Chain A
Amino acid sequence: MIENTNAAGLIRRALLEAPSLGEGLRVTLLLAMAGQAVTVVTPIVLQMILDGEILDPAGVDMNGVLRMSAVALAAVVVGVVVGRISLLRLVRTSSTGLSDLRIKTFDHIMRQTVLHVQSDRRGNLLSRVTSDITTLQEFMEWGGVGMIIASSQVLLATAVMMFYEWRLALIALVGVLIYLFMMRWFQTILARNYDAVREEVGASLGVLSESITAIPIVRAYGTEESTKAKVAEALEQRFQVEYKTARFGNILFSTAEIFAGVLTAVLVVAGVLIGARLGMSAGTLVAFLLLTNLLIEPLQILVETLEFAQSAASGLRRVVEVLDGEIEVRDPDDAEPLRPGGLSASFEHVSYSYTGGEAVLTDITVDIPVGSRVAVVGETGSGKTTFAKLLVRLMDPDSGTIRIGGVPARKIRLAELRERVAFVPQEGFLFDDTIANNVRYGAIDADDAEIWTAFHELGLGEWVQGLPDGLQTQAGERGGNLSAGERQLVALVRAWIGSPDLLVLDEATSAVDPALDVALRHAIDKLTEGRTSVTIAHRLSTAQSADEVLVFDQGHLVERGQHRDLVVCDGVYAALYADWAAGTKSV
């Protein structure tokens, strides 16, 4: 965590990341202030007309009234134009700056490993580039504007009051300050209640969304009534807390309204008593009362925007924290090129542990020669997947060295590494696009013919032809139009089309049916002839055909060798294989 807590520091940091955010800010503020002069025009013109004409014992001179009104109207028009210019400037800079900040944050997150190492944090990180930035945006454009307008109004009204009669102005100011503190105080009292409300809102939504998600279970088990009762109770509880808080807040804030009335009364009394002695005019006192109103309304806005500002600041803090996060896997400064042709791989005393400290892989040393087919087996949690991710440099080890084609992985340009080494994760993730475009993630320039070829090479041509729109079939959100097995097929082709020199598969066919799985295996073996392939396998038929099997157990490489040798040893592999053989035995 970065103790970057003060607002100025945060803002400086944000400006550093997105300089467009602060362009011409000073001029904008000055213009906003000038534009706000509009609102103090009316008390002044009223005072002038009252004292100069209406209450003039000599009677009303309409020329005088018109002259004063003309000046006032001109001031209003100027204020409108200037105000408009300042707001436009503000809107432009904030939208541009925040868009830049959003893109920068997205880019930074994508460069980190957190998305695939700590996948439970994805939701949080998503908020960084969506709701946090939106909060900032809304603050800048509604709250920020309100704040600038309100504080300009307060300053201007105060200045005019001081000009009229400083003693009365002081009374008004003291009153307004008390009012401000009252509002702030109420806000803090309420903040605690709002926490309770937020908690209830979260809890009720949790229960509600769980129940909706579980509708198939509810139906299958006939628990409709108890589900409804549970949800109704949570919603009722939320409503009660919300309502109680609203009632309490309303009463608190209405006292502020009474205070404003009292302040007006005090000003009338004081104005009359002091004014009589100082020779203050009735028009001036009336202007004072109007100006007091002009003070109170923006204060309400200010207090509300303070809350807004706080949530915007914590949003910004979270964004800055992300930007401060280290990018673990970086492009090397002194890159070494890979030789063309097949790629070997090696681990030398490699260890890796998660940030929590738990070791996932301990002291792994292994050589994978060019052109060999290696199978990696082990129980869930044995470290197989971590091995694969380190091998393709999705993460870097804590200690030890990994080499690809004899070059330390940290010295290979990432773009080159990705081009030569393909990794297919188990999940078979597809984007909401056509099958063809999904495959193009593996080779941006591939045309439809090349994509067809790739499917045919893996023996999947018939499958694609069977799809409603062939290559143009929409995969749907997260590939939802296809089954889990079918998604894996596309993911496999996507990796294959880049014709990698080192292919790493992490249970990439776990969801396809046995007959197809075996057929795919044959196709891959044939195609990778002469290239290197590493397969994390939970189906041990893969291990049987491999040149070498690596057996992992609790983060250690415990056995290695060929299937026929390992299966006769009384070890981890033999046990795994026995279970597998029992499961596949049909007679």
Chain B
Amino acid sequence: MSEPKLTPWAVLRDGSRLIGRFIKMHPLAFAIAVAGSSLYAGSIILASSVIGWVTENVLVPVLDEGEEPHLLLAAALVIVGVAIAKAFGIVVRRTGAAYLSGATRRDIRNRLLDHQLGLKMSWFNRQAIGDLLAVADADTDQGTGVLGPLPYATGVSLLLIGTVVLITAIDPWLGVGAVIGLAVAVAVDVHGSWLTFGMWEDVQAERGKVSSIAHETFDGALTVKALGREPYVTEKFGMASDVLRDRLIEVQSTWTKYQVIMRALPQVLIILLLIVGAARGVSAGDLVTVTYLLTLLAFPIQLIGFVLWDLAGSLAGWRRVQEVLDADDFVSWGDLPASPDSGAVPVMGQTVGFTYEAEPVLSDLDLDLKAGTTLAVVGPTASGKSTLGLLLARLWDPDSGSIRLAGRDLRQFARSELPKEVAYVSQTAFLFDATVRENVTLDANYSDEEVATALRLAHADQFVSELPDGFYTELGERGTTLSGGQRQRLALARALIRKPRLLILDDATSAVDPSVEAEILRSLKSAALPSTIVVVAYRPSSIRLADEVVYIDKKRILAHGIHDELIETEPGYARLVQAYEEEARRLQEAS
């Protein structure tokens, strides 16, 4: 992805807009943080004046002029008092900043999920899941990264102004010197940050390359090793790592250059101001105030540059967050509630067409299913048969034509209503990091008995009862402890417990043994679950159990009828369904 080249002004303009947006979300927290920061800045200026005052009124009279230390106690108390004020300022500032960034992140993450749940599946399919997760995690953190140092930076700006005011009050020429000196320091700092930021982006890009090579190679380790290509991938990785090394050296050299200069600049400024002060006959106390203040300023002043860094970083992160939030490919919902009736529904598809990324996947498809029919959808790999399942469940919408459930267009249903009548089970069974029971109910209200019945129907009751805690067993992340067939049967139970009026199984039992699969299908057709069933499959045994078959190839329905008929009339269908049988016969004859 090519990103527009950032300019400092664009960063400032877009950055302040972004910051304004964040502040609007939690204005009070920001105000409190800034108030704390002002108190902090004020107490630093005060502390310097106090040290100057102590020098003038205590140190010099006592140590150089031999007077009695009258004001010593007062001096000590004032110093501690100012320190307490400073500490208080820090607490308020940092607490406000923590609230501001924490709450903003929480809100953005909630919004991201909310937004994505409203978008079409076609949008979701175009995204890499890894990217979406990164947006919700690292990118959100990075996008709001500027909020942490923002109140501090506001305080530092106040500190700079206060410093100039205080020094000018001591002596106008010192003031002029301070303005010039601080301006130079800030300019150098900002320039350095700007330069390193651009380079740092390159480093991150290289780091990403190194990590994706490692990721890919580790995932494909079996292939790499089986082919004996370890030296080749190590060389590839080494080259990427060395490019990263060179980029790092580059950015770090620039960064350290500015770092040493920034460390020296306040020192130089102090020395120059001492000369001016001495020439202008400034008092010892005032000179101490100036020196002390600039010493205390040496560290915070570098923060100005960091904020620019953070701001540019935030914009980069936020751009990716914004991209998701800007997606407006929303599903449009109607206002129809699910019917209170139960029992199978008739399904009707008229001139349905579907295009994916400019490639037609299905075209001009008509389908008329009576309530309670079991339909098998058969076709070679990539024939579009899975798409039909997705359209029937309205996970995707057709580009032309319509699909109706007992006369109602699927698009008329209100949000979350259609799933009360239609259940869809895909080949890849997604299991949540939760118990068996929660995976079946998905937090809806079902009795233990209903759960048990659903598990039995899906032929999952036996292995579930053998789990350590029955259906209260925690499955762990993505249910990795279960076999493919077991996972598929749990996913099936999840659909069955809802007693759907239309059930769509997209190769949903592919990892289950053929005999078990046949049994499952047989029991689904029984009266216990009166629904219309659409099965995408290619095991002949499953197909045989269907009442009707549609044969899909080349993006359209080539035939719709009864299995036995299609075998006779459709040579392509027969070839596909009877491939293994034919092979077995051929081999038998050969031997």
CB contacts (< 8 Å) of B232 on chain A: these are 441, 444
Within 8 A of A (CB), among B205-236: 207, 210-211, 214-230, 232-234
Query: With an 8 A cutoff between CB atoms, is B403 at the interface?
Result: no
Residue of A nearest to B51 (CB): A289
Q: A227-B117, A518-B580 are in contact. Are A276 and B137 (CB under 8 A)?
A: no
Encode A94-123 as 1/0 by CB contact (under 8 A) with B. Answer: 011011001100110111000110001010
Query: With an 8 A cutoff between CB atoms, is A46 at the interface?
Result: yes
Does the CB pair A80–B261 fall under 8 Å? Answer: yes
Q: How close is A514's CB to chain B, nearest CB, in angstroms?
A: 4
Does the CB pair B230–A95 fall under 8 Å? Answer: no
Does the CB pair A264–B83 fall under 8 Å? Answer: yes
Q: Which segment of A180-188, A210-218, A551-559 sits at the interface? A: A210-218
Q: How close is B274's CB to chain A, nearest CB, in angstroms?
A: 5
Residue of A nearest to B230 (CB): A110
Query: With an 8 A cutoff between CB atoms, is B525 at the interface?
Result: no
CB contacts (< 8 Å) of B132 on chain A: these are 212
Q: A243-B98, A254-B91 are in contact. Are A231 and B113 (CB under 8 A)?
A: yes
Residue of A nearest to B59 (CB): A282
Q: A62-B279, A544-B584 are in contact. Are A512 and B381 (CB under 8 A)?
A: yes
CB contacts (< 8 Å) of A224 on chain B: these are 117, 415-416
Within 8 A of A (CB), among B78-126: 79-80, 82-84, 86-88, 90-91, 94-95, 98-99, 102-103, 105-106, 109-110, 113-114, 116-117, 121, 124
Residue of A nearest to B280 (CB): A60
* CA A222 to CA B564, docked complex, whole Å: 38
Does the CB pair B257–A84 fall under 8 Å? Answer: yes
Query: With an 8 A cutoff between CB atoms, is B406 at the interface?
Result: no
CB contacts (< 8 Å) of B480 on chain A: these are 120
CB contacts (< 8 Å) of A579 on chain B: these are 513-515
Query: With an 8 A cutoff between CB atoms, is B581 at the interface?
Result: yes
Query: With an 8 A cutoff between CB atoms, is A54 at the interface?
Result: yes
Encode B572-591 as 1/0 by CB contact (under 8 A) with A. Answer: 00111111111110011001
Q: How close is B271's CB to chain A, nearest CB, in angstroms?
A: 5
Q: How close is A336's CB to chain B, nearest CB, in angstroms?
A: 18
Residue of B nearest to A286 (CB): B288
Does the CB pair B581–A586 fall under 8 Å? Answer: yes
Q: How close is B17's CB to chain A, nearest CB, in angstroms?
A: 25
Q: How close is A204's CB to chain B, nearest CB, in angstroms?
A: 8
Query: With an 8 A cutoff between CB atoms, is A491 at the interface?
Result: yes
CB contacts (< 8 Å) of A271 on chain B: these are 59
Q: A262-B83, A580-B514 are in contact. Are A276 and B271 (CB under 8 A)?
A: no
Q: Which segment of A347-355, A397-405, A410-418 sits at the interface? A: A410-418
Does the CB pair A42–B270 fall under 8 Å? Answer: yes
Within 8 A of A (CB), among B372-388: 380-382
CB contacts (< 8 Å) of A266 on chain B: these are 76
Does the CB pair A483–B381 fall under 8 Å? Answer: yes
Does the CB pair A228–B117 fall under 8 Å? Answer: yes
Q: How close is A288's CB to chain B, nearest CB, in angstroms?
A: 10
Does the CB pair B102–A60 fall under 8 Å? Answer: no
* CA A273 to CA B69, docked complex, whole Å: 8
CB contacts (< 8 Å) of B103 on chain A: these are 239, 243
Query: With an 8 A cutoff between CB atoms, is A449 at the interface?
Result: no
Does the CB pair B248–A137 fall under 8 Å? Answer: yes
CB contacts (< 8 Å) of A429 on chain B: these are 219-220, 222-223
Does the CB pair B279–A65 fall under 8 Å? Answer: yes
Query: With an 8 A cutoff between CB atoms, is A130 at the interface?
Result: yes
**In this complex, which of B69, B88, B295 has the most chain A Cβ atoms within 10 angstroms of its Cβ?**
B295
Encode B230-273 as 1/0 by CB contact (under 8 A) with A. Answer: 10111001100110110011001100110111011001101110
Residue of A nearest to B134 (CB): A209
Q: How close is A322's CB to chain B, nearest CB, in angstroms?
A: 12
Q: Which segment of B60-68, B168-176, B307-315, B348-356 sits at the interface? A: B60-68
Query: With an 8 A cutoff between CB atoms, is A73 at the interface?
Result: yes
CB contacts (< 8 Å) of B498 on chain A: these are 221
Q: Which segment of B186-194, B362-370, B419-427, B455-463 sits at the interface? A: B419-427
Residue of A nearest to B252 (CB): A91
Does the CB pair A515–B83 fall under 8 Å? Answer: no
Query: With an 8 A cutoff between CB atoms, is B161 at the interface?
Result: no
Within 8 A of B (CB), among A543-587: 544-545, 563-564, 579-587
Does the CB pair A257–B87 fall under 8 Å? Answer: yes
* CA A235 to CA B415, docked complex, whole Å: 25
CB contacts (< 8 Å) of A210 on chain B: these are 432-433
Does the CB pair A49–B278 fall under 8 Å? Answer: yes
Identify A257's interface contact among B83, B237, B588, CB under 8 A: B83
Does the CB pair A516–B381 fall under 8 Å? Answer: yes
Q: A73-B268, A208-B113 are in contact. Are A583 and B95 (CB under 8 A)?
A: no
Query: With an 8 A cutoff between CB atoms, is B54 at the interface?
Result: yes
* CA A280 to CA B216, docked complex, whole Å: 69
Residue of B nearest to A253 (CB): B90
Chain B contact surface mostly: helix
**In this complex, which of B47, B114, B221 has the most chain A Cβ atoms within 10 angstroms of its Cβ?**
B221
Query: With an 8 A cutoff between CB atoms, is B474 at the interface?
Result: no
Q: How close is B285's CB to chain A, nearest CB, in angstroms?
A: 10
Does the CB pair B513–A247 fall under 8 Å? Answer: no
Residue of A nearest to B279 (CB): A62
Does the CB pair B54–A293 fall under 8 Å? Answer: no
Q: A228-B114, A257-B86 are in contact. Are A38 and B382 (CB under 8 A)?
A: no
* CA A206 to CA B268, docked complex, whole Å: 52
Query: With an 8 A cutoff between CB atoms, is B129 at the interface?
Result: yes
Query: With an 8 A cutoff between CB atoms, is B418 at the interface?
Result: yes
* CA A65 to CA B224, docked complex, whole Å: 72
Does the CB pair B59–A541 fall under 8 Å? Answer: no
Query: With an 8 A cutoff between CB atoms, is B281 at the interface?
Result: yes
Does the CB pair A60–B281 fall under 8 Å? Answer: yes
Does the CB pair A250–B514 fall under 8 Å? Answer: no
* CA A109 to CA B227, docked complex, whole Å: 16
Query: With an 8 A cutoff between CB atoms, is B558 at the interface?
Result: no
Does the CB pair B578–A422 fall under 8 Å? Answer: no
Query: With an 8 A cutoff between CB atoms, is A125 at the interface?
Result: yes
* CA A217 to CA B439, docked complex, whole Å: 11
Query: With an 8 A cutoff between CB atoms, is B75 at the interface?
Result: yes
* CA A83 to CA B261, docked complex, whole Å: 10
Within 8 A of B (CB), among A270-305: 271-273, 275-276, 280-282, 285-286, 289-290, 293-294, 297
Query: With an 8 A cutoff between CB atoms, is B483 at the interface?
Result: yes
Query: With an 8 A cutoff between CB atoms, is A27 at the interface?
Result: no
* CA A258 to CA B83, docked complex, whole Å: 5
Does the CB pair A228–B223 fall under 8 Å? Answer: no
Encode B524-544 as 1/0 by CB contact (under 8 A) with A. Answer: 000000000000001111011
Does the CB pair B137–A205 fall under 8 Å? Answer: yes
Within 8 A of A (CB), among B465-502: 477, 480, 483, 494, 498
Encode A64-105 as 1/0 by CB contact (under 8 A) with B. Answer: 011001001100110110011001100110011011001100
Q: A88-B256, A583-B515 are in contact. Are A281 and B226 (CB under 8 A)?
A: no
* CA A96 to CA B246, docked complex, whole Å: 8
Q: A235-B106, A483-B382, A584-B584 are in contact. Are A491 and B223 (CB under 8 A)?
A: yes
* CA A221 to CA B583, docked complex, whole Å: 41
Query: With an 8 A cutoff between CB atoms, is B58 at the interface?
Result: yes
Does the CB pair A110–B233 fall under 8 Å? Answer: yes
Residue of B nearest to A275 (CB): B63
Query: With an 8 A cutoff between CB atoms, is B6 at the interface?
Result: no
Identify A236's interface contact among B98, B106, B264, B420, CB under 8 A: B106
Give 7 closest A-B pairs by Cβ, nearest first. A261-B83, A418-B228, A583-B514, A222-B419, A115-B221, A246-B98, A222-B416
Known: A498-B227, A586-B543. 9 other contacts (CB 8 A): A42-B295, A54-B278, A69-B272, A92-B249, A126-B214, A222-B415, A442-B227, A545-B587, A583-B517
Query: Can you offer 25 A-B residue contacts whose CB atoms are under 8 A?
Result: A41-B271, A54-B278, A66-B275, A73-B268, A103-B238, A103-B241, A110-B234, A130-B214, A209-B136, A210-B433, A224-B416, A228-B117, A239-B105, A268-B72, A414-B228, A512-B381, A514-B538, A514-B576, A515-B575, A515-B579, A539-B580, A544-B584, A582-B541, A583-B518, A586-B577
